[in-house]
Amino acid sequence: MADTGPSLHVLMVLDGTYPPLQGGGTELQVRTLAKALRRRGHRVTVFAPIVPAAGDRLVTRIDRVPVVRLRFPSIHVLGGLWLMLRFAMFLFSRRGRYDAWHVHSPRRLGAVAAFLGSKFSKPQVVVKVASATEFMTGTLAPNPKLVNRFLYGGLRRAHAWQAISQRIADGITKRGIPQDRIAAVPNAVDTSRFQPLTRELRAGVRFLFIGRLVSPKNLFRLLDAFAIARQRHPDAHLRIVGGGPLDAQLKQHAAGLGLGDSVEFTGHRSDVEALLADADVGVLPSTVEGLSNTLLECMASGLPMIASRISGSEDLVRTGVNGWLFEPLDVEGLARCLEEAAALSPQQRHELGEEARNMIERYASLDSVLNRMLGLYRGRPAIVPAPEAAVTGGV
């Protein structure tokens, strides 16, 4: 059911590059939500620090949404403190302008917003936890550094917390945040843009990975597992889409495994829909995520998913129903998943893909997520049920 309350003015707060450049899952989510909120008649402003990649203009418009940026000196420690002070002044001077401050990471800007927001009658302050790494070295770590303990004191004052996976929601609870302030609200995917497609019938299965070529994506193990699977399925093909610092090393590793033309490295691509249409099975072997946008886009497009059992993926992927789960560092387990997917008929893969799409429509469609976020912006109780039979683990 659509939200029918009065129009809101929402401030989206980022501590990274906006607009997103060649990736940036959190930034892409902000852009998706901002456009959708505007279509429903709400006002949105985006706040972001100035970084070289985004230019040096203090105020711009992206998708007709105002983007306000602040300069800060690139000096260790001092630069961060200066940015926090400037951001506090920005919020204080506009304390009655916004109905909600949606902060997209639980770090220094989130601490400033949560502390100041607790002093005013409005806005509602919502802090998003977008990655499980926050529980390892960030403000939510079990034994945080002194500065992170200080920031956490401010963050605890937030009115609501958005956890994009059930594992993250459990982790926030373990850090002492009351459950009635935590909402397991996932990232959103535009199901009108990503739709099931009619795929070409062919002999060999085509696997697809889309993402940054960085260590947490676990791509060396993916290549090792694919080399094993290809012994039984020599006509299988793996396409790796994205750029990053490991590009040359991964190509060298693939060559050393004798994979030849069966693995394709495309570099960064913007034609995501065409890539999804030319694939049969999506693969996400990461060792850490929050909830991957690629996972959502693949499943919304009707691709069954092979994914590691980590935050986000374990909420949505069901082995034998809409894909396959494996333990993150288990090369042989990943190889078995690849072999099982390759052994299916196109019709069987299509049926799993339909179930993948159904899961996304129930849990992570843009309209569904937007309704839940608007509830948080309006101060409604935060608890939201997770997907049925979700498998969760410790943080």
Residues 242-284 pLDDT 10s: 999 999 999 999 999 999 999 999 999 989 999 999 999 999 9
Given this model, what pLDDT does residue 389 score?
43
pLDDT band with cut points at 50, 70 and 90 for residue 72: confident
Instruction: Report which of 100, 85, 97 is spatially closest to residue 11, judged by C-alpha positions.
Output: 100
Given this model, what pLDDT does residue 391 score?
45
pLDDT at residue 385 tops 70: no
Given this model, what pLDDT does residue 55 score?
58
Distances (CA, A) of 168 to 74, 162, 174: 31, 9, 10
What is the DSSP-derived secondary structure letter of residue 269? -
What are 56's two structure tokens?
């040096």
Given this model, what pLDDT does residue 289 score?
94
**Which part of the chain is CATH 3.40.50.2000?**
9-188+366-377, 206-363
What are 282's two structure tokens?
């999506």
Site of tokens 């829909």 = 273
Given this model, what pLDDT does residue 196 score?
87
Given this model, what pLDDT does residue 367 score?
94
Given this model, what pLDDT does residue 381 score?
63
What are 353's two structure tokens?
């893909």
| Residues making up the chain, counted from first to last | 395
pLDDT at residue 185 tops 90: yes
Mean pLDDT confidence for 168-190: 94
Mean pLDDT confidence for 188-210: 88
**Assigned architecture for domain 206-363:** 3-Layer(aba) Sandwich (3.40)
pLDDT at residue 113 tops 80: yes
What are 318's two structure tokens?
């069901």
Mean pLDDT confidence for 215-232: 97
Residue 352 CA to its chain's centroid (Å): 23
Given this model, what pLDDT does residue 198 score?
75
Superfamily of domain 9-188+366-377: Glycogen Phosphorylase B; (3.40.50.2000)
- Residue, of 51 and 315, whose pLDDT is higher: 315
Given this model, what pLDDT does residue 170 score?
95
Given this model, what pLDDT does residue 54 score?
55
Cα gap 336→315, rounded to integer Å:
21
282-305 pLDDT, tens digit per residue, is 999 999 999 999 999 999 999 999
Site of tokens 């099975």 = 281
b/e 262-298 (16+ beta carbons within 10 angstroms → b) = bbebeeeeeebeebbeebbbbbbbbebbbbbbbbbbb
Beta strand 206-210 with 263-267 is: unpaired
pLDDT band with cut points at 50, 70 and 90 for residue 52: low
Distances (CA, A) of 285 to 109, 300, 304, 316: 31, 18, 14, 15
Contacts of 221 (CB under 8 A, 6+ apart): 285, 329, 331, 334
Measured CA angle at 87 (ends 14, 182), to 5 deg: 50
pTM reported for the whole predicted model: 0.90
Mean pLDDT confidence for 309-327: 97
